[in-house]
Amino acid sequence: MGHSHLTLTTVNISAPDARELAQFYARLLNRNVLVDEQDWVMLDAPDGGVRLSFQTESPYERPSWPTEPSKQQMMMHLEIRVDDLQAASAHALACGSTLADFQPQDDVRVHLDPAGHPFCLWVAS
């Protein structure tokens, strides 16, 4: 049986409003919109990495962080490497995130995007 080359191109994130969440991540990550449809928006990957896209889901339920029994669990989260944790955290807050109440590590900052998805800012050592 032959092998096929598989390439991960895009991560799609559910949201109550695809455009609103795409605008947040465009500001946060300094990316541009490639595709803007009514319920689906895709951002570019200027470094040639994985693109992000956002899909409006109705109904949408915010994930809980940390996980709680009988609550919507996060299905995934983004890990974002930064050079300066304090400056990156301030930038994320200015873009519209909130700092999560629960912070499991001193060298990582967990933020919540406007749709409630957790994402982690971390410094490479």
Partners of residue 99 on adjacent β-strands: 111
User: CA-CA distance, 88 to 44, in Å (whole number)?
Assistant: 20
Specify whether the CB–CB gap between 15 and 57 falls below 8 A.
yes
pLDDT band for position 125 (cuts 50, 70, 90): confident
- What string of H, E and C letters represents the secondary structure of 36-95? EECCEEEECCCCCCCEEEEEECCCCCCCECCCCCCCCECCCCEEEEECCHHHHHHHHHHH
Instruction: Encode pLDDT of 43-65 as tens digits.
Output: 999 888 999 999 999 999 888 88
What pLDDT does 6 receive?
Answer: 87
Instruction: Encode pLDDT of 2-48 as tens digits.
Output: 778 888 999 999 999 999 999 999 999 999 999 999 999 999 998 88
